[in-house]
A and B are shown apart, each in its own frame.
Chain A
Amino acid sequence: MRSTIWVSAFLLATTLAPAFAHAEAESDGVRSAVPPAGATATAQTTSPESRLEALEKKVGSLQDENKELASQVSDLQESQSQANEPPSELGKMKIFGFFDMNFQKTYYSPSNSVLGAVLPMPTHSTFMATGLNVFLANQITERLKFLSELRFTYLPLGNETGTQTYVVLPNGSTMNLGTKYTRTDTTVTDPSAQIFRLGGVGIERLQLTYVFNDYLAVTAGHFLTPYGIWNVDHGSPVILMVHAPIFQTILMVPTQQTGIQLFGRVYLSQNLSLDYGGTISNGRGPEDSVIDLDDNKGLGLRWHLNYELDDFSIAMGQYGYTGQYTDISKAIYSGPGTADSSSSTTVTEQYTERILASDVLIKFFGIRLQGEAVLRRVKYDVPPPISPADFNGNPALAAQYNSASYDAHAYYGLLAYELPAWLTTSKIRLTPFVYFERFNLNDTFPSSANTSTIYSGGLNVKPCRGLVLKVEYDRFKGDDMVDVLPDGTRKTTNNGVGQIVTAQAAVTF
């Protein structure tokens, strides 16, 4: 009982103390302004109703204050979010690229082999700076991207545009096949009499890509044809070897196209994905990156299957293409009167081509097994013109050279092994490789340049980031089956063997 009394007294005291303090504070605030009679009024306001009213007012003001504070917190969170947001990459122009330098020596056996004149590889040891590829890339929005790749090159300086070709007849006389040796010289003199040599700029890629989602994206412009492995890898720092397959260098498949490319990817399972795509372009032509000289668009379809595990992956795919090549000449005819004026366009060369390119790439525990094959069928509607002087007026030879249609095929296999880190005892990556290639670029006109076999071997070294060093040995031999004259007087020719030793440094920046 006694304790209850003490607890009640304590509670009463703690409850009333703030009221007394409040009343004292209020009275302090009004002491000078309010006459003592006001004390009676103050006492009156402490009635329960007035206290409730005061408390309600206070709660209302506290609620307002709470809203204000909540708003301030929200603003602070917003500003904090903006401060934390990662720096946007949108709209920033990025510049990067690559270049390579080569040292090369080519040996021909016999030294006067036809190959030495037909192939562009120099017979003397040569340092070559083949070009500088500069990329300009801009992620304009989250889904829209611009990419261009410019190749700065010393070309066309030194570009061999023709080889003077003779056939030695059985009677010992020589027959000129109507050709002559020509080479481009870009030497110019500026107004201050300074002599220098002009180079060139090639636009490798110029494209705008919009990504709708993983299943569909569209690229418009000048893009790399999505075929094979080599063409997709594209640049010397990425490609394992120095020399590209012949079907790549002679453009058996158009390397680039101007038009539209649709592509996408679907995941069939956790590790299996299917890439697909289609291209519609100007196709191939003498100036296809600028103007299409016919209405038949080049059409292509692509599929590529990828299966990937940690230490094993396999990828395979195909690209099919069909298109029409057209070249024209234009003429204007003017008569005596305006009404007689007219113009005409003549198709000077036209063919339809169908191409199928296949590829497979298997990687497991550092081993890389890669292969590509290309089949091409060309059907001429309008063969290229030949003047009566060509082939010394030999219509049979001319007819053979201008075969209406032909098939071509090429394939290669590449085996490489990236040595494990414990073998190299450093961060240097060493990848030795061997390579085999076989091609027939025109089954109706076999020659050393058209039908050959290539064996290669070498080493790819990556000593540090951004630098790739390569050494490579290539041995190629044209088939000895040149059926130069249809009358059988010259059936075979020993075309010899070519061997190339090349060292390359490829740099990305």
Chain B
Amino acid sequence: MKILKKLILVALVLAWPVHGALAVAPNDLLVIANKSVAAEATDASEMRAVFLKNKTALGGDTVFPLNAKGDSDLRAAFRKRVLKMTDEKERGFWDDEKVRKGTEPPAEVPVTLKAVFSKAGAVSYVFRKDYKEGTVKILAAFPE
């Protein structure tokens, strides 16, 4: 009987992290920053401001937003979950900003994780399934 109780206890303990893992889906969108950025957390409105170039610093550090390629699923997820814009709206916004302020959109990179890892002050986003532990800092997560 004692052995059975122990087995149940062990099963429960093992089941706990499994339950936690169900909350983190592979297509969660992670906002990531180079380790040089001091900020530890951010939110959608702040990221929106950074990626629309209305804000240039996070936690006192100058940051450089890097976008995924315009036609990628990753970019589409960022538009939907953070910018709250359609593809067409985002393009229109930058066309207008060029006329208003001469400002261009953030640079696009093929692999955001590598680019953020390599560039001091860089901020971007990645799907959780593509995230590599220890490479960059996670500032926020937006579930699928």
Task: Indicate if B71 sits at the interface (CB-CB under 8 A).
Answer: no
In the assembled complex, which residues on chain B have CB atoms less than 8 Å from the CB atom of A427?
88
In the assembled complex, which residues on chain B have CB atoms less than 8 Å from the CB atom of A213?
56-57, 62
Residue in contact with B111 in the complex, picked from A84, A205, A465, CB distance below 8 Å: A84
In the assembled complex, which residues on chain B have CB atoms less than 8 Å from the CB atom of A205?
102
Given the known interface contacts A94-B104, A213-B56, the answer about A466 and B95 at a Cβ–Cβ threshold of 8 Å is yes
Q: How far is the CA of A85 from the CA of B92 in the complex (A)?
A: 28
Residue in contact with A84 in the complex, picked from B84, B98, B117, CB distance below 8 Å: B117
How many A-B pairs fall under 8 Å by CB?
A: 80
Contact B45 A85, beta carbon cutoff 8 Å: no
Given the known interface contacts A271-B45, A427-B88, A462-B92, the answer about A233 and B54 at a Cβ–Cβ threshold of 8 Å is no
Residues of A that sit less than 8 Å from B by CB: 80-82, 84-87, 89, 94, 96, 98, 135, 137, 142-143, 145, 147, 149, 205, 211, 213-214, 232-235, 237-238, 265, 267, 270-271, 273, 308, 310, 427, 429, 462, 465-466, 508
Given the known interface contacts A85-B118, A86-B109, A87-B107, the answer about A135 and B43 at a Cβ–Cβ threshold of 8 Å is no
In the assembled complex, which residues on chain A have CB atoms less than 8 Å from the CB atom of B96?
233, 237-238
In the assembled complex, which residues on chain A have CB atoms less than 8 Å from the CB atom of B129?
none
Contact A142 B62, beta carbon cutoff 8 Å: yes
Residue in contact with A237 in the complex, picked from B46, B91, B99, B109, CB distance below 8 Å: B99
Contact B55 A508, beta carbon cutoff 8 Å: no
Q: Tell me which of B57, B62, B99, B104 has the highest count of chain A C-beta atoms within 10 A of its own C-beta.
A: B99
Q: How far is the CA of A232 from the CA of B96 in the complex (A)?
A: 11
Task: Indicate if B115 sits at the interface (CB-CB under 8 A).
Answer: yes
Task: Indicate if B66 sits at the interface (CB-CB under 8 A).
Answer: yes
Given the known interface contacts A427-B88, A466-B95, the answer about A84 and B118 at a Cβ–Cβ threshold of 8 Å is yes
Contact A214 B56, beta carbon cutoff 8 Å: yes
4 closest Cβ pairs, A-B complex: A235-B99, A84-B114, A147-B102, A84-B118
Task: Indicate if B100 sits at the interface (CB-CB under 8 A).
Answer: yes
Residues of B that sit less than 8 Å from A by CB: 43, 45-46, 49, 54-57, 62, 64, 66, 84, 88, 91-92, 95-96, 98-100, 102, 104, 107, 109, 111, 114-115, 117-119, 122
Given the known interface contacts A84-B118, A211-B56, A462-B92, the answer about A508 and B111 at a Cβ–Cβ threshold of 8 Å is no
| Additional 15 contacts, C-beta under 8 A, given A211-B56, A465-B91 | A81-B118, A84-B115, A84-B117, A85-B119, A86-B66, A86-B107, A86-B119, A147-B102, A214-B57, A237-B96, A238-B99, A267-B55, A270-B43, A270-B46, A429-B88
Contact B91 A137, beta carbon cutoff 8 Å: no
In the assembled complex, which residues on chain B have CB atoms less than 8 Å from the CB atom of A135?
98, 102
Contact B98 A96, beta carbon cutoff 8 Å: yes
In the assembled complex, which residues on chain B have CB atoms less than 8 Å from the CB atom of A267?
49, 55
Contact A81 B117, beta carbon cutoff 8 Å: yes
Given the known interface contacts A232-B100, A238-B99, the answer about A214 and B107 at a Cβ–Cβ threshold of 8 Å is no
Residue in contact with A85 in the complex, picked from B56, B88, B99, B115, CB distance below 8 Å: B115
Given the known interface contacts A265-B54, A270-B43, A465-B91, the answer about A82 and B102 at a Cβ–Cβ threshold of 8 Å is no
